[in-house]
Amino acid sequence: MILFRVREANPSSREPGFIFDATYPRPFLHRGLQMSSFVTSLGAFVVISSILATQEWIRSTIAIRDSSSNGSVIITYGLLRGKSVQELNHGLAESDKSFEVLGTLSSSSQKTLHTVVLVFLVLSLLTSLLSAGLTLYNSISNPYQTFLGPSGVYTWSGLCAAFIFITLLLFVGNTQSNHLSEQLAQKLYPTYPASTHQGTSHSYGYSFWLVLLVILLNVASVVVIIFYQKARYQRKQEQRKPMEYAPRDGILF
């Protein structure tokens, strides 16, 4: 709807005889903001999927020493799969191994906590998908007063960021404090018990740091919706302004 405000000429005034004020909607700007939020939410879903599928979460180097060998075991793994390599200064090294993380771990606290990490990551994957679906629905519909509107986007994006952050903390705790890598090394190489381990160093890979990108994408989705709400409110205010002059001026629709 386009509103025109018409004011009659005043002979004693230098203003022109007729003034037309038009308030035009800005649908392209609003749709662009909505689609930007959809892109960021969908990006979070894609990144979480890649995080779940890749094996570059952590690289652990475990120094080993016994009477017959001296060197290190290098284990690189993700949430589902991994691989290990022996690098010995002397002694006979075993061939490289590929393994399933949960299948290798026995019933232990490391396995339980790793399962919880997987559960929270799957929850973040689902909530990011819901957030992307809601932002897409908002771009083609107008459910502002329901949970399908911005409040739903805030909720699911916030939950996704919270779940992925908990995943990050639990994984770090399981590797640093709960000695997940050392437990894997003992299962993969039974000939090197814990007494032969001389120390462990950890290096987190790109899959781990992508978790921070997911959090940023969820924050971006919320920020875009906030800007959209603000622009929508300003648009409504501008559309109401001509009505304030209704007793004095004529309004043509």
d(CA 221, CA 54) in angstroms, rounded, equals 25
134, HSE (Cβ side, Cα atoms, 13 Å): 24
d(CA 132, CA 95) in angstroms, rounded, equals 45
Do 85 and 74 touch, CB atoms closer than 8 A? yes
Q: Quick one: pLDDT at residue 236?
A: 62
Do 64 and 191 touch, CB atoms closer than 8 A? no
> Which residue is associated with the tokens 């689609």?
35
pTM of this structure: 0.75
d(CA 210, CA 51) in angstroms, rounded, equals 7
Q: Quick one: pLDDT at residue 144?
A: 52
Q: Quick one: pLDDT at residue 159?
A: 94
- Radius of gyration of the chain from Cα atoms? 30
**What residues have CB less than 8 Å from 221, skipping those under 6 apart?**
37, 40, 41, 44, 131, 135, 153, 157
What structural domains does the chain harbor?
A: 36-228 (1.20.140)
Q: What are the pLDDT tens digits along the chain (253 aa)?
A: 444 444 444 444 444 433 333 333 445 445 555 677 788 888 999 999 999 988 889 999 988 887 777 888 899 999 999 999 988 887 677 888 899 999 888 878 899 999 999 999 999 999 999 988 887 877 676 655 555 667 778 888 899 999 999 999 999 999 998 889 988 988 888 887 777 788 889 999 999 999 999 999 999 888 887 776 666 656 666 666 555 555 544 444 4
Q: Quick one: pLDDT at residue 147?
A: 54
